[in-house]
Chain A
Amino acid sequence: MPVIYFLIYLLTMIGIYSLLAMSLNFQVGFTGLINFGQVAFFCIGAYASSLLVTKAGAPLILGFVGGMALSGLFGYIISIPTKSLKADYWAIATLAGGEVVRLLALNEGWLTEGPFGVMSIPQPLRWLFSKDSYPLFYLFLIAACVLIIYFVLSLLTNSPFGRNLKAIRDEEDLCLSLGKNTRKLKLQAMVVAGMVAGLAGALFAHYITYISPENFKPIETFLMWAMIIVGGRGNHLGAILGAVVIQLFNVSTRFIGGYVPLGSDTMAALRMVIIGLLIVLFLLYAPEGLIRERKKVYHLKRKHIE
Chain B
Amino acid sequence: MRRLVDVVVTSILLGLLINVGAVGGAEEPVRIGLLCPITGTQAVMSEDMLTGAKMAVEETNAAGGVLGRPLELIVEDTETRPAPGMDAARKLIGVDRVEILTGGFSSGVSLPIAEYAQEQGVLYVLAVPTSPLFRDVGPCCMSITVVDSFKGKAVADFAVEDSGKKKFALIHMNNAFGQAIKQVTINRLKELGAEIVTEVDYELNKVDYKAELLRLFAKDPEAIVGTWYAKEGLVTAKQAYEMGLLNVDKVPWYVSEITSSYAEALDKIPEVLEGIKGLDPLEPGRLFSEKFKERMGREPITAFAAHYYDAVRMIAMAINFANSTDPAAVRDTLFEIDDWYRGMSYGGDKRFDEDGMQDHAQFRKVIIQNGKKVDY
Stretch among B13-21, B313-321, B338-346 lining the A interface: B13-21
Complex Cα distance A161/B82, Å? 38
Looking at the complex, which of B91-99, B159-167, B211-219, B325-333 is the stretch in contact with chain A? B91-99
Residue of chain B at shortest CB distance from A248: B8
**Which A residues from 246 to 271 make CB contacts under 8 A with B?**
248-252, 254-256, 258-259, 264-265, 267-269, 271
Alpha-carbon distance between A269 and B231 when the two chains are bound, in angstroms: 21
Closest to B132 in A: A116
Assess whether B76 is in contact with A264, with CB atoms less than 8 Å apart. yes
B175 at the interface (CB under 8 A from A): yes
How many Å from the CB of B1 to the closest CB on chain A?
A: 6
Interface residues of A in 204-239 (CB under 8 A from B): 208-210, 212-215, 217, 219-220
Of the stretches A3-11, A140-148, A150-158, A182-190, the one at the interface is A3-11
* Nearest-neighbor residue (CB-CB) of A5 within chain B: B94
Q: State the Cβ distance, A233 to closest chain B Cβ, in Å.
A: 15
Q: How far is the CA of A255 from the CA of B50 in the complex (A)?
A: 19
**Once the chains bind, are A249 and B8 in contact (CB under 8 Å)?**
yes
Across the interface, B90 reaches (CB within 8 A) one of A5, A107, A213, A217, namely: A5
Contact B87 A117 (CB under 8 A): no
* CB-based contact A115/B174 at 8 Å: yes
B79 on the A face (CB < 8 A): yes
Smallest beta-carbon distance B26→chain A, Å: 20
In the complex, whether A73 has a CB less than 8 A from a CB of chain B is: no
For residue A81, CB closer than 8 A to chain B, the reply is no
Contact partners of A114 in chain B: CB under 8 A: 174, 179
Q: Which residue of A lies closest to B136 (CB)?
A: A119
Task: Kindly state whether residue B370 has any CB partner on chain A within 8 Å.
Answer: no
How far is B64's CA from A282's CA once the two chains are assembled, in angstroms? Answer: 51
Residues in A with CB closer than 8 Å to B264 are none
Closest residue of chain A to B106 (Cβ to Cβ) is A214
Q: How far is the CB of A126 from chain B (nearest CB, A)?
A: 11
With a CB–CB cut-off of 8 A, which chain B residues contact A248? 8-9, 12
B82 surroundings in chain A (CB, below 8 A): 208, 212, 214-215
Using known A-B contacts A251-B91, A252-B11, determine if residue A214 contacts B18 with beta carbons closer than 8 Å.
no
The answer to whether B15 and A255 touch across the interface, beta carbons within 8 angstroms, is yes
Q: In the complex, which residues 243-267 of chain B have their Cβ closer than 8 Å to any Cβ of chain A? A: none
Stretch at the interface among B111-119, B187-195, B360-368: B111-119
Chain A residues near B93 (CB, 8 Å)? Answer: 2
Q: Which of B1-49 contact A (CB under 8 A)?
A: 1, 5, 8-9, 11-12, 14-16, 18-20, 38-39, 46-47
Contact B174 A269 (CB under 8 A): no
Instruction: Please give me the 4 A-B residue pairs with the lowest Cβ-Cβ distance, nearest first.
Output: A255-B15, A6-B94, A268-B77, A214-B108
The interface of chain B, by Cβ under 8 A from chain A, is 1, 5, 8-9, 11-12, 14-16, 18-20, 38-39, 46-47, 50, 75-77, 79, 81-84, 86-88, 90-91, 93-95, 97, 106, 108-109, 111-112, 115, 119, 131, 133, 136, 174-176, 178-180, 201
